[in-house]
Each structure stands twice: as structure tokens, then as C-alpha cells.
Amino acid sequence: MKIIFSPSKGMKYRELNNLKTEKQPFFLEKTEVLVNAIQNISKEKLGETMKIKGSLLDETFIRYKTFWNLPEYKAIELYNGVSFSNLEPEKYSPESITYMLKYLIIFSALYGALSPDTLIHPYRLDMTIKIDNFQLYNYWKSSIEGLFTKEEIILNLASSEFSKILDRKIYHVIDIEFRQNYDGKLKNISTEAKKMRGQLLNYLIQHQITDLTILKTFSQNGYSLCNELSEENKIFFIKNQ
């Protein structure tokens, strides 16, 4: 089994005293090629490509120009978006840390895929962005898919932006969906879904769950399993409003 998770644009370092290991990126050479391509883009072009301006553009441009001189942090210590802010890694037991390192894969537009303890530099890059002639989905597809076997279950707690890189005809991907029920109408609230993906991952790690039957008992913040909508490769958790 593997669990896939999205990165976040938000980054803020927090040291975890219970995470002692560290790794180098799986695909460092491919990251180096991408960084070099971005470093050769003008500031104006970078802003147009990433659709950013002002201080955010200034920061992003300088980060890439000085990329290899920036400090390195473990991925799980650096990402702090909505999903990651709903993790509690500082509370993880040694058994939970072992589980997290064994099963969790964090996708990344710049690094391809990461273990939680992979050392990375702060960056900003989306999978949908085209850098020169790089189509990032095509660039990373074979490398990322090489991390998985056709036989293992892949729990999808990533956004569609990242999870669609896996070929569902080849890999056994199980999508986890969170919806809110408003008088019979199901709504997908993006921020709420991100929060709940983080809370479910936190639950899986804390309890070291590898059994789908136990996963389906997850119940937090008013969400619970919806058997009527769930299928073999898609599990729905619904919150009634």
C-alpha cells in the first residue's frame, strides 16, 4: 500500500524532534534540469508563466536564482498548507513515524515525488505550469509511476492536479472523496476537502492503518462513510448540513 498526498504552496519551517532520518530527493538530476531552465527565464517571463507579481514574484525569482544556496528542510517540516496544517507530526510515536516513512509519498512539481523526510529547498511551482518545452506531467510521469507496483493499493489523498498523473488502467488507485450534503445536493468545498484529507492522513498515520475496512470507520468533524455512493475504487465520506 502507498498513500499519495499533494504538496502545498504555503511553506513555513517547523522542526520535528521525533523525525531523525533524512533522504536526498528520488530524482535530483531531473530537478536540477528544471531549476536550470527556470533560472534562465527572465523575471517578467516568470511572472507571466506563474501568474504572479509584486513581492511574491520578487521572492520567487530570487529563490530560483539562489536555489542551491537556500537552506534545506525535510518536506514534512516545510509544507504548511491547509492539508499539512491538519497533521500532527510532533505527536507521532516511533511506530507512526515508521508507518509514515513507509507508506506516504508526497507529489511535487519540482521534485516529482518525495518521502516525508526528503530534504528540499523552498520553491514555488505548479504541475500545470509550462516551463520552456517542459510539460511537467509528461516530464515526471514515468519517474513517479516507477515508485509504485501494479499490485499494491494506492490511497489517493492528493488533489486531481497531482493524482491524475497515475494511469488508473494500470495502477490500483482508490480515491477518497469528501462531500457536504445540503438538502440532498452534494457539494465539493475545496478548502474543506483539503482539511479533511489532512485529517484522514493524520488518522491513518497515528493508528498505522493498512486495512481498508478500518479506514472506512473514520469519522471526524461530522463526516462519515457513505456506503451508497462508495464503490470499489472510490470511497465517499459525507457531512450532512
Note the pLDDT tens digit of each residue in 132-165: 888 999 999 999 999 999 999 999 999 999 999 9
Q: What is the DSSP letter of 3?
A: E
The pLDDT score that the predictor gives to residue 139 is: 96
pLDDT at 241 over 90: no
% of the chain surpassing 90 pLDDT: 94
Reported as a single tens digit per residue, the pLDDT across 185-202 is: 999 999 999 999 999 999
In sequence order, what DSSP letters do the residues of 22-66 get, joined into one string? -B--TTHHHHHHHHHHHHTS-HHHHHHHHT--HHHHHHHHHHHHT
pLDDT at residue 132 in the model: 83
**Averaged pLDDT, 220-231:** 96
Whether 128 contacts 161, CB under 8 Å: yes
* Cβ neighbours for 133, distance < 8 A, ≥ 6 positions apart: none
Whose cell is 474543506? That residue is 192
Calculate the dihedral angle through the C-alpha atoms of 139, 24, 13, 58, rounding to the nearest 10 degrees: -50
Kindly list the distances between the CA atom of residue 70 and the CA atoms of 38, 62, 101, 122, in Å, as whole numbers in the listed order. Answer: 16, 10, 25, 7
Give yes or no for a contact between 30 and 139, defined as CB atoms under 8 angstroms apart: yes
Q: What is the pLDDT of residue 133?
A: 83
Nearest to 83 by CA among 181, 165, 205, 182: 205
pLDDT digits (tens, 9 = 90+) for 112-126: 999 999 999 999 999
CA 217 to CA 212: how far, in whole Å?
9
Q: What is the largest CA-CA distance in the chain?
A: 54
Q: What is the pLDDT of residues 21-62, one digit of tens each?
A: 999 999 999 999 999 999 999 999 999 999 999 999 999 999
Cβ atoms of 82 and 9 closer than 8 Å? no
Say if residues 2 and 155 touch (Cβ distance below 8 Å).
Answer: yes
Cα–Cα distance, 148 to 39 (Å, whole number): 31
Nearest to 23 by CA among 85, 134, 106, 138: 106
Q: Name the residue among 116, 115, 92, 86 with its Cα closest to residue 192.
A: 86
To the question of pTM greater than 0.75 for the whole model, the response is yes
Q: How confident is the model at residue 131 (pLDDT cuts 50, 70, 90)?
A: confident
Residue 124, helix vs strand vs coil: coil
